[in-house]
Amino acid sequence: MLRPALPAALLLFIAVMLRSGAMDALLSFLDYGAGVLALVSLSVTVLWGLAATDRMVLHSGHRLLAQAVHRGTGVAGLGFLGLHIWVKISQAHTDATAAAVPFTDGARPGLIGLGTLAAYVFVAVAVTGAVRGAFTGITASRWWRGLHMSAYVAWGLALVHGLRAGRGPAGYALAGYAICLVAVAVRLALRMRDSRRNTGELP
C-alpha cells in the first residue's frame, strides 16, 4: 500500500521545496559548495591512494581496505565534480562548450580551462583504474602507472582552479584547501622517502 504513495509523497516534497525557496537555497549552496566537496573528496582519494601503497606500516588486508576507500572516495569525488559542472552551467557561470573544450570560456579561459583539463584527467584515471587488469605486461603497467600518477597534476590544476576561478574562497574553504595541500604534500614526501630507502630511487 505504501508504493503508490511514494511518488505522490516525492512530488509533494519537491513542490514544498520549490514553494518555500529551499531549492534556490540549495542551488546557491551547490553553486559554491559542490566544487569544494569535489576537491576535498578527490584530495582524500589521493591520500588513500598513497596509503594503499604503503608496505612499511600497513598489512595486505589494511592495504585492500585502503584501496576500497580510495575507490569509494574517487567515485564520490567524480559525482561531486559532475554536480559542480552541472550547477555552473545551469547558473550560466559558464557554458557547455567551455566545460567540454578547455580554454574556450569567454570570461576566464585560462582558469576554467584548468578545471576542464583536471576533470578529463580525473575521469581518465578513474576509467583506467577500474580496468587495471587490462594493463598487463611491463610496458602496459608503466603506462598505467604514469597515467595514474597524472592525478597529482590534475589535483594541482583543480586546486588552482578552485582558488582562482570563482569568487574569493570563504575561510572554511580556504582552510579546507590548505589542509588538503599540506596532507597530500606530507604523505607524498613520506612515500618518496620510503621509496628511496627501499630502492634507492623515486617511485
Which pLDDT tens digit goes with each residue over 42-61? 888 888 887 777 666 667 77
Average pLDDT, rounded, for the chain:
79
Task: From residue 81, give the alpha-carbon distance in Å to each of 25, 42, 120, 123, 169.
Answer: 19, 9, 11, 10, 17
Least confident piece of the model among 42-46, 94-98, 185-189, 192-196: 192-196
Q: Is the pLDDT of residue 97 over 90?
A: yes
Query: What gap in Å lies between CA 91 and CA 121, rounded to an integer?
Result: 25
Q: Is the pLDDT of residue 27 over 90?
A: no
- The better pLDDT of the pair 199, 192 is held by 192
Cα torsion 32, 33, 34, 38: sign: positive
Q: What is the pTM of this model?
A: 0.76
Query: What gap in Å lies between CA 46 and CA 51, rounded to an integer?
Result: 9
Query: What gap in Å lies between CA 42 and CA 181, rounded to an integer?
Result: 12
Q: What is the pLDDT of residues 29-39, one digit of tens each?
A: 778 788 888 88
Q: Is the pLDDT of residue 195 over 70?
A: no
User: Which residues are CB-neighbours of 88 under 8 A, at least 6 positions away?
Assistant: 31, 35, 94, 99
